[in-house]
Amino acid sequence: MTTMNPHEHLAALSREASLLGSSAALLGWDQEVLLPEGGRAYRGEQLALLARLAHERVAGTAMSDAIAKAEAASGDLDPLGDDAVNLRELRRTHERKKLLPVELVEEEARLQSEGQAIWAKARGASDFGQFAPVLERIVDLLRRKAECYGVPDGGEPWDALAEDYEPGCTAKEVDAVFGPLEVRLRELVANLSAADQSPCDAFNRVVFDRSAQEAFVRHMAEGIGFDFNRDRLDTSTHPFCSGTHCGDVRLTTRFHDDNILDALGSTLHECGHGIYEQGLRYDAIGLPVGDSISLGIHESQSRMWENQVGRSAAFWEWATPLAHDILGGGARNFDASALYGAANVVAPGFIRVEADEATYNLHIIIRFGLERQMLKGELAVRDLPEAWNARYRELLGVEVTDDAHGCLQDIHWSMTAMGYFPTYTLGNLHAAQLFEAACSAHPGLVDGFSRGEFDPLREWLNTNVHAEGKRYGALELTEKLTGKPLSAEPLMRHLESKLLPLYGLA
């Protein structure tokens, strides 16, 4: 029998906890895709048990002892070596998780399962009143969770929760970025809205057969390099990416009779998440060096494939003949220029996941502010629809017509995920900055999209982002790869260089 050294023993405990967590993720995927209605109540109990067992593995004394022994045996470890990174991140996670009572962990898992089921029904009925009672319970639980973690000095409950999604991120820091960004985006949207010229969105009103839509988006996913030998693509109310490890990645998308660009954008977005997951190290499954850095970096990957790639003129030079062949009929009335324009129409609307690039981050700014208010007790849950609708009127100039197009459109709060939404905008900032670095490393990168050449971008990301695991923090990684701290300038350059010419303003 081979005796494990302290770092190997610590890694074994981490892998065991990961097995439990990934099993719960698989049950969560099944809950959204295949689970019959009659199985939902018991699913909550299954997920609660797995949550408790995983929590005990991460927060318990066995992990504490293993970390202490590994630290004692560390000597002169390279701080960026695998053992040191695993130790650093497992210590951080352990210290954080042990602050949570196991009863609270179980309660949250049950509430997530119940909340998602009630949200789906309420959204289908466009009735926030059905969802409000469970959302009140969710906000209460999250306040208790934040208290367990401890609110940082000068901070607020949101900060304590955000640490799970974007380590080190605080509401004040997000505010400092979002404030100026909101001003610039609103100015850009106003200028585009007042322009005498604009692209046509007629393609998005063409009805296509569901099977043709499915074939088209799958072909696009395969074209950018998503590996369906390690994945499946299904449908759900809200598109998402899940799975158990880099060899089993689960994506979902959604379809309408028309609005094919929504299905394509959702699929490319989730493929970006999936490509990240597939790019993680197989030999490090269950370890921090084999895990993603943060949700901001994860979102940078999804938003990059959705926007910098999927909304580029070069992408549509490649994709248009395929759209003609696969979608047939009405698609053949549009050339590559028309489809590129349709993919970049700026039109303030209600739905975040259908939003254009220029208005998308305004949707995130609204959600960030509202969840902060709910957590601080400044906004009662019952008053959420009114507050939501007022902010949409103020920032996007639209009148929300019903709850399904308003505060019930996103699944996140039903999953107890508050502290999450800003990672979408942080992801957009990282995406634009990293994409510029990839273009510098590979001159002609974008031109290659027109020939279906996506390997250079995917491989650059695999090497420089995915395979690094948690070796670097999010801000640290982007600065390392780009030579500059994270900034909104690359995102604004991306938006203005594309949209101003399309609207005859440059």
Cα–Cα distance measured from residue 347 to residue 192, given in angstroms and rounded to the nearest whole number: 9
**Is 270 an active-site residue?**
yes
Cα 129 from Cα 123, distance rounded (Å):
10
Q: How far apart are CA 118 and CA 133, in angstroms?
A: 10
CA distance 232 to 253: 11
In this structure, are strands 248-253 and 231-235 parallel, antiparallel, or unpaired? Answer: parallel
Cα–Cα distance, 242 to 171 (Å, whole number): 27
Chain centroid, CA 25 distance in Å? 15
Tokens of 374: 């709910």
CA angle, corner 326, sides to 322 and 331, nearest 5?
Answer: 80
Q: How many CA atoms lie within 13 A of 349 on its CB side?
A: 14
Strand 241-245 relative to strand 231-235, pairing: unpaired
Closest C-alpha among 375, 157, 339 to residue 264: 339
Query: At which residue do the structure tokens 């208005």 appear?
Result: 359
SS3 253: strand
The C-alpha atoms of residue 356 and residue 358 are separated, in whole angstroms, by: 6
Distances (CA, A) of 88 to 75, 105, 148, 290, 437: 14, 23, 22, 14, 28
* 369 touches 423 (CB < 8 A): no
CA distances from 478 to 122, 137, 219, 463, 469 (A): 40, 38, 31, 14, 13
Distance CA 84, CA 87 (A): 5
Cross-strand partners of 234? 252
What is the 3-state secondary structure of 96-137? HHCCCCHHHHHHHHHHHHHHHHHHHHHHHHCCHHHHHHHHHH
Give 445-461 as a DSSP string.
HHHHHTTT--HHHHHHH
Which is the catalytic residue, given 32, 270, 306, 436? 270
Catalytic center residues: 270
